[in-house]
Amino acid sequence: MRVEIEILGSGTSSGIPTVGCDCWVCRSDNPRNKRLRASALFRVGTGEAETRLLVDVTPDVRMQALRANLSSVHGVLITHTHADHCHGLDDLRALYWGGGRQPLPIRAYPEAMASLRRAFAYIFDDEYDYKGVARVSPGVFEHEPFVVAGVTVTPVPVVHGNMRVAGFRVGDVAYITDCNEVPAPSMEKLRGTRLLVLDALRRAPHPTHMSLPAALEVARRVGVERVFFTHINHDLEHDSVNRELPPWAQLGYDRLRAAVEADGRVTVTEPGPNGQPHAVAW
């Protein structure tokens, strides 16, 4: 089964460029230094049978869906409820309409779901009975793998300061954002992962995010074939940092797509000048 991950946004909570900042990365013309808030899309299977799972619903989700030519998803996975990861929830409307107005399964840790229900009561509470909202079908997970829209997802808990964040593994592809530590049992859950998208905020250590050296070390220990870093701030200029990094471990960027193909090859595609994806060699 082919599993692809598309990076919908590779930026930290402020997005890059950051409002009011005139550093060289925020002023850069390089499109790879323009980073919407961190989010990803799993595409599982191909053609008509493709199942799309959206990971996090950022304040940028409208632009992210338009750029990715995305009109519907089959399920939504929430890593945690910091604003940069869920404050686009209202904009699920369009993806719900595009999906034929079938209630959209949304999955999160129990504490994250409770927080979403508080913040977006009008979406989750039937009493509001307002037509202009996405209908969702909420559910929670803990430690065991769960099935959403027919796809088996393994939750990979990671440490983000004083809270836990869910990473997600589908097949041999995993997405882990917002963490300063991947605990040993979670390293075990990642064993055999071949393609990883992983938090790497900046070069220097940070209390709630992994630094670039720490993230590189985690990817090495997991033994992945390829890792792309995400949730990047304006300390990291795309091209110059990538020249320092090994070819198998690079900064990700918005609209990058990478997959473990049905035949086992790891492939990478990126948007071409005409917007159509094309394969890149590495």
Binding site for Zn ion (CB under 5 A): 13, 18, 21, 23, 26, 82, 84, 178, 234
Nearer residue to Zn ion within complex by CB, 32 or 194: 32
Neighbour count for residue 269 (Cβ, 10 Å): 17
Per-residue CA distances from 160 to 22, 82, 157 (Å): 29, 11, 10
As given in the structure block, the two tokens for residue 192 are: 């055999």
Report, in Å, the least distance between residue 202 CB and Zn ion.
Answer: 11
Cβ-based nearer residue to Zn ion, 84 or 237: 84
Of 110 and 150, the one with the shorter C-beta distance to Zn ion is: 110
CA–CA dist 181, 16 (Å, integer): 24
Q: Give 154 or 233: the residue with its C-beta nearer to Zn ion.
A: 233
Give the shortest CB-84-to-Zn ion separation in angstroms. Answer: 4
Nearer to Zn ion (CB atom), residue 34 or residue 194: 34
CB 85 → Zn ion: shortest distance, Å?
6
Q: How far is the CB of 173 from Zn ion (least distance, A)?
A: 20
- The distance of closest approach from Cβ of residue 18 to Zn ion in the complex, given in angstroms and rounded to an integer, is 5
* Least Å from the CB of residue 237 to Zn ion: 10
Indicate the residue among 1 and 23 with the shorter CB distance to Zn ion. Answer: 23
